[in-house]
Every structure is written in structure tokens, then in C-alpha cells.
Amino acid sequence: MRAFRVVIAGGVLVLAGGLAVAGPAYAQGNAPGAPGANATWDEPNVTGFADSLGASSKLLSNSSLVWQQVDTADNGDFTITKTYVADSGRSVIDVQTTFDNTSGTALRLYADYHPQLDNDGMGNTGGTAAASGDLEAVNGSVASALAASTGFTQTSTGYVGSSSDGETMLISSHALTATYSSATTGGHIDQLAEIPVAASGATTFTLALAFGTSQAAAISDASASLGAGFSSLEGSFESGWQSWLGGLAAAPASVTGSPALLTQYFVSLMEVKADEDKTFTGAFVAAPNVPWGASVNAGTGTGQSGAHGYHAVWTRDEYEMATALLAVGDKTDAMAALNYILQFEVTSNGAVKQNTWLNGNTVFGSLQMDEVADPIILAYQLGDTSAWSSVQPLANYLVANGPSTPEERWEEAGGYSPATLAAEIAGLLCAAWLAQANGSTSQAATYQATAQSWASEVDNLTYTTTGPYGNGSYLRWPAPPTAATRSPSRSGAAAMVSTGSLSVSRTTPRPR
């Protein structure tokens, strides 16, 4: 048997072609083997990422994020073609699938789904819905439903790594040798469904994977999404993205001469936009996956303690994504990002949380001074003088606590970091402009003088010729250098920064 895997929000979905076997095994009640093998985040195996722009669809061609997989069996017996979209009006992923059997022998096709709902791989229960025959799962306040336009021939829910694990049955026996109607103890569950296909030739159907606050709601949304028809869903999905792209500035000449670069340009912009949350407008997670997720425990509670790393908001990443969107003409999303940061990331004393969950709850709990500067710079780039009262505490915090940082941007060491210093200096200059625009002349002078002072010390703070590694010359100190180990000022670009004049514009910044 050859299985084709795709990781989807809330779990893993697999389509698997198998050999012909005898008739289906019938359900045998509640599955044994709870809680199942330890769950990890399977995200290194992510093969695609898509998201609808519809506000009611809370999930994750060069003009939309529609994507397609075409998988062929090693022996050429069958091909599975899957096209993915997100329902723009519901929290549903729809997968139009064509299974083409060219083997000359009847084959069986299965969908394999591993629910890991509510950021937890070990607390899930589920089974087969009595009325619809859909696979349903739930963990706390998050539920899912897997349905097919053709219905399912047989279904089973079991525990991973146990005798009830359907995926293990398929791998070892090419069939479900036992089926279970439910798994009622919270654990790492595996859900299998057989899809009816023709004995030969092509069969086309649609899978719907829906998410809701209850199993009934998820089943209802899956049914409604299938009822809408895949062509209609795909059209809405594409038109949403095309409308968004149509509101951006024209692509730069650096990419328009190459179709490949142009596609990469548009898809990259859409991926950035797709990282924005639907509930907390302006909240952009750092990334939709974790590259090392297969080695990270997905057990109960670990999703909320930071183990599920990049599904969180870092102000630095948020700033970089916002300025990318601003650069291509999307001022609305850049402004939403600034508003989100000021509401959820900034603390009462002007410090900025290292990173947070979407609701603003702290994840890691440290402090990185470049993230204190970033919102000030973004406000300046947006020309948002009304943000002065909100960013003033950040500027004051920089003056009082910089330029050393408890952690630099790679979250490994504290001290004087060239990247952090650059952000701090830029942040203070932008704060000076905002202060001046709001009539706070004395504060503007303080920020500008502090920026000038720090710039004059860049060499002394970040370069040494007496270190213990290599030839003793390298950048970035993990702790403040002493007078005895500071190097003399050097010529070149760094010295030009030290001696050059730092100034702040008192006119509205150019649109970016």
C-alpha cells in the first residue's frame, strides 16, 4: 500500500490506495488501547498551506492559494489527484479528489485522519456519527468532522500504536481487519474511512474536513460545504485572493521579467497575509508550522506552554510582515498589525512581550529590546502621528533600559547585539519625529540625543579583538565589555555611523 500524507489544521489527513480484499469488517464498539502512543507535532511533513480570506473561515496559480497534489503509485497502478481550498464562509477544508485506477484490479481507497484538536494530540475522543456516518472528533471546545460527497463504505476510530490503530492495519494487512465505532477515552486517536470507488478507471469526489465548537456544528458545516459544490467553493476562494491582490501596488520590475519569480512573489505575499488570524485582526503568527515538530511532544497542555513554537506572535516577525505588506500597498493590514501590537503586546511600563498566543497571553516570557523599538518604527512608517501616546512609553523604556538587551533576536544571549542596537537607534529617531509632530519638543531632543550617543558607541559595544575564539576578532558580546577589552574605533562604515549626523525629518514620511 502507498499512502499520501498531508498535514491539515487540527490533524493529519492521508489518502491511501490499497489492494483488493474481502468485504468490510463491521464495527465492534469502543476501541481498546487508550490513550495510544505518544503524540508529536507532525509538521515537518507539511506539503501545502492555504487559507481563505473569509472572516468566517478560521483556518489556515499565482493569483490564489489553491494548491494541488498529484501522487502516482510506484508501480503505476493508480494516481490520486487532490485539489485543496478553504471554504470562504465556513471553517472547512475541501479536497476535490480523483482516484484513477489503472491496475486492472479492483482497489480500495481510504482517508486517514489524526485529530490533534485544541493544540493537543493526547486529549482527543471521537467516533462515527450515527446519523450521518461522518467521522467526528472533539477535544474541549474544539471539534472536527470528516465527510465525503460519496459517503463512506466503512469507518473506524482507534488509538495510534495499539491494536485498534487503523493506519497500522492498512500498512500490515492492506485492509481494516477490525473497525470501532468510537474511542471514548481521551488520547492520540486515528480515524479511518473507506471511500467507495469504481473497480477501474477514475472516481471523483470531495472530502470536507470541518472544525467547530461542537461535533454537531462541525458535521453541519461539513454537510453545508459539500452541498455548496466544489466548483462554487473554489471560485469564491480564488476571487477572494484575486480581489486582495488587485488592491496591491504593481509588482516591481525585478520580478516581472521572470514568470517563476513573479509566481514566487505573489505566493509569498499571500502566505504572509494567510498568517493573519480571523478572530484577532492584525495578529500575524510567525509561521504556520514548526520544522522540528516531529520531535516535539504534543501531549496535553504542551501546546499552551510554548512547545508548539511558531504558532505564536512575535512583535519582530509581526513588524517584518506588516512592513512587507505596507511596501506593496496594503496599508490596511499594516495598520491592523500596529493596532494589535499596541493592544496585546505592549505592557504597562512600555516593555514588549517576547511572544504571545493570539489572545496576548505570554508564551516564552523574556524581553528583546528590538521588539520594543519595532512598533515605534512601524508607526513612523505608517505616518501615524496619532499613535504617539501609545508609543511614547516604548520610547521612554528604550531610553531607560537600552541599549543592552536581555535577549538578542535569536533568543540565545543577552548583551549588546548589532541588530538590536540598529533597531533601538532607529526606534528612537522615529520616536523623535513622532514627538516633534505632537509638540513634545523636549522629548524629541532626548530621543535624538540618546540615539546619537548609542550610535557613537556601536564599535566599542559590539566589536572586540581580545576574545577567546579564533583570532580574537568578532562581533556581538553576550555581556557588556570592560574598558580593558574594548577595541579602538575603526575606520569604515561603522566609524561613519559614529561620526555622522543623525537627524529626524519633521515632515510627513514618504508613503512606503
Residues carrying an active site annotation: 408, 411
Strand 67-72 versus strand 78-86 pairing type: antiparallel
> In 168-231, which ranges are E strands?
182-187, 189-195, 201-212
Task: For residue 465, give the nearest of 487, 484, 449, 482 by alpha carbon.
Answer: 487
Answer whether 181's CB lies under 8 Å from 127's CB.
Answer: yes
Report in angstroms the alpha-carbon separations of 402 from 29, 68, 376, 423, 427.
63, 49, 15, 11, 11
Q: What string of DSSP letters covers 65-84?
A: --EEEEEE-TTSSEEEEEEE
> Dihedral sign, CA of 416, 419, 422, 427?
negative
Cell of 69: 497534489
- Calpha distance 231→237 (Å, rounded): 10
Task: For residue 221, give the nearest of 47, 56, 37 by alpha carbon.
Answer: 56
Cell of 376: 515605534
Give SS3 for 204: strand
Task: For residue 498, give the nearest of 464, 461, 465, 459 by alpha carbon.
Answer: 459
- Calpha distance 161→184 (Å, rounded): 16
| Half-sphere exposure in the Cβ direction for 82 (13 Å, CA) | 20
Answer whether 173's CB lies under 8 Å from 113's CB.
Answer: no
Cell of 489: 574605533
Angle between helices 418-437 and 369-382 (to 10 degrees): 40
Strand 78-86 versus strand 92-101 pairing type: antiparallel
Answer whether 23's CB lies under 8 Å from 175's CB.
Answer: no
Q: What are phi and psi of 205, to 5 degrees?
A: -150, 175
Buried b (16+ CB within 10 A) or exposed e, 259-291: eeeeeebbbebbbbbbbbebebebbbbbbbbbe
- Calpha distance 369→353 (Å, rounded): 10
The answer to whether the bond into 403 is cis (omega within 30° of 0) is yes
